[in-house]
Structure 1
Amino acid sequence: MNYMASLTLLAGVWLLAIISPGPDFAATVQYATARSRREGIMVALGITSAIAIWIVGSMLGMGILMARLSWLVELMRIGGALYLIYLGVRSIMSAHRAAPEKVDIVPQKSGLSAWRVGFITNISNPKAVVFFSSLFVVILPANPPLWLQVASAALMLVMAAGWFCIVACLFSLAPITRAYRHTKRWIDYVTGGIFIALGIRLAVER
């Protein structure tokens, strides 16, 4: 069995998944541009923490458990949808507040708050466990050795953390933050609309 080929294919598919714009990307960009690089990175780490739970859970058979607990899936789906809509409404409301000319020193609790936003944004979609379970079933061999499972999880987490931290760093660069200040209202409207649309889609999906 060519395990390296499996890891390479997994890396390629996972890269396409994480770079596709979605709630995780929107949350990282919003915090990096509107607040600070540090908070953008904390959002990225929160997202990665949630991904770690989905990966480990999928490998331990969480998908089978959740298939039997349909009420839990529904509860997570509705809760996640409401949270995304809340983020959207908050973003639209912030469109009417002027952007600060410089970012103040961020207190420790703000970093934790940003991490929590990233974590909840990702963990709020219970369909993620279906995606990860399907990904492992299709790409990894049947009954993969433990080292391959650990390597797959580590690879995916490093890629996710790396990508979203890069996004946070890029969107916190001075030229981009200056452009954000000049277009803050419209960016907040668009970002808020995206969050609300994603929340509604999550709420109505079956």
Structure 2
Amino acid sequence: MPEVTAFMSGWFGGHLAVAVFIGGVWTVTVLSPGPNLLATLHATARGGARAGVTTAAGIGLGTAIWSGLSLAGLAVLFETVTWAYTAVKLAGAAYLIVIGLKLLLQRNAGAAPLHPAQAAPVPGGLRRAFFFGLAADLANPKAAAFFASLFAVSVPAGAPLAFQAGICALVVVIAAGWYALAALIFARPRVAAAYARARRWIERVTGALFIAAGLRLATDRS
């Protein structure tokens, strides 16, 4: 019994508090609009709720990769080998800019469905949506630095591997859950109908925001 009491005390007095802190900080971060939200809404507009939720799953995998690599010391590697970080950063920025340019320059407005709720599934559509979400998330290597900073001030040294895995699972669930919820809301008939009426302008603004995000990433010196 003393061993059980000590274990419970350790979790609820330490590990649980760390998990709540990380979950809270990450939730606030995820709720802030950014490329991942743009990717989710764009996929939903093109392929419906299923495509949006699948994109959210891809973002979740990207979050798992960045958070896991951060715990493994990727941020330290980026700080040591600066050219590697610069290369990844520029590649991600180029990807975001290309997406933005495609949205701005596309002329076949009729290619999109009337609105997300009426989108018909297409071959490979969900697979493309998944990798679109994954690529959008991996395009920002600053996520590694963010997770490294967050984990450095919260995860105790020598924390059990199971606890670290649980932290990674927590941030993945928060990210994928929020973006999936955003996709489901955006696909609702009223919201989708409003999107359909202003689709051309919304896609132009979305393209401009993707380009702005890419340029900001490329020129960021942190």
Aligned partner letter, 2:120: D
Query: Deviation at 1:105?
Result: 2.4
Q: How does 1:67-78 map to 2 (within 5 A)?
A: 67-78=79-90
Residue 6 of structure 2 is matched in structure 1 by: none
What are structure 2's unaligned runs of at least 5 residues?
1-12
Which residue number in structure 2 is paired with residue 47 of structure 1? 59
Give me the TM-score of the superposition, normalised by structure 1.
0.94
Give the match for residue 172 of structure 2. Answer: 157
**CA distances 1:20-78 after superposition (whole Å, capped 9, x unpaired):** 10000111011112331111112111111111111111111111222222222111111
Deviations 1:69-121 (A, max 9, x none): 222211111111111111111112347613433322222x1211111111111
Residue aligning to 1:177: 192
**Residue 188 (structure 1) aligned with residue 203 (structure 2):** yes
Between Structure 1 and Structure 2, whose CA radius of gyration is higher? 2
**Aligned AA for 2:16?**
M
Q: TM-score scaled to structure 2, two decimals? A: 0.87
Structure 1 residue runs of 5 or longer lacking an equivalent are: none
Q: 1:30 aligns with which of 27, 42, 46?
A: 42
Task: Note closer, same or farther for the CA distance 1:153–1:118 as it changes in structure 2 (3 Å cut).
Answer: same
User: For the residues of structure 2 that align with 1:186 and 1:205, how far apart are their CA atoms?
Assistant: 28
Q: Name the Cα RMSD after superposition.
A: 1.5
Residue 2 of structure 1 aligns to a residue whose secondary structure is: helix
- Indicate whether 1:105 and 2:117 are aligned: no
Q: One-letter code of the match for 2:68? A: V
SS at match of 2:159: coil
Aligned AA for 2:105?
M
User: Over residues 125-178 of structure 1, what are the superposed CA-to-partner deviations in whole Å (9 max), with x where a residue is unaligned?
Assistant: 111111101110111222212232122111111111111111111111111111
- Separation in 2, partners of 1:52, 1:9: 18
Q: Secondary structure at the match of 2:40?
A: helix
| Structure 1 match to 2:213 | 198
Contact 2:60 2:172 in 1 (8 A): yes
d(CA) in 2 for partners of 1:182, 1:94: 17
Question: What code does the residue aligned with 1:41 have?
Answer: V
Aligned to 2:149: 134
Which of 64, 69, 73 in structure 2 is aligned with 1:57? 69
- Counterpart in the other structure of 1:17: 29
Percent identity over the alignment? 36
